[in-house]
Structure 1
């Protein structure tokens, strides 16, 4: 299997940055409990109210299955609710 990397860049209003950070542990816990193939994630704060979420998956199939579930659990939904807008989303594989 090939490790898949999900790169999601999004904007968060300054007034919701604390909400995003507070929701992060719950999102990670939900991913660990409910998302097969989840290997880990890093959240990067960028300039201009943008953030980059770097998520590693055991395989592209695991990433696709996770994407299909959406915000199906409270911790994931709370994190997504803090996001104002999507800037970009892409995936690739580690070489």
Structure 2
């Protein structure tokens, strides 16, 4: 079943441009390394707070990626701007668009 990863974190305002500049390389690395990676959305909640919304083909693939994500230099570079991880959650997508997901 498709899984969603929600990571809420803070970034100092003076680091935002550098963090955003590091995202394309991180996205390429995720696509290249993880078969179950489907999508990445970065949401700005306020001046300091951000939310990564990552869709994975399955929860198992999300967990597998979490175990090795810091081995990828591109991900470490993007994560270097994170001041604090506020929350990290995973869930299964049960309804999307206009239909149930099975």
Q: TM-score range by the shorter chain?
A: over 0.9
> Equivalents in 2 of 1:77, 1:16: separation in Å?
15
Q: Name the counterpart of 2:43.
A: 44
Q: Name the counterpart of 2:27.
A: 28
Q: Name the counterpart of 1:55.
A: 54
SS at match of 2:82: coil
TM-score (norm 2): 0.89
Q: CA deviation at 1:70?
A: 2.6
Question: Conserved in 1, the CA contact under 8 Å of 2:3 and 2:59?
Answer: yes
Pick the structure with more strand per residue.
2
Segments of 5+ residues of structure 2 without an aligned counterpart are 95-102
TM-score (norm 1): 0.95
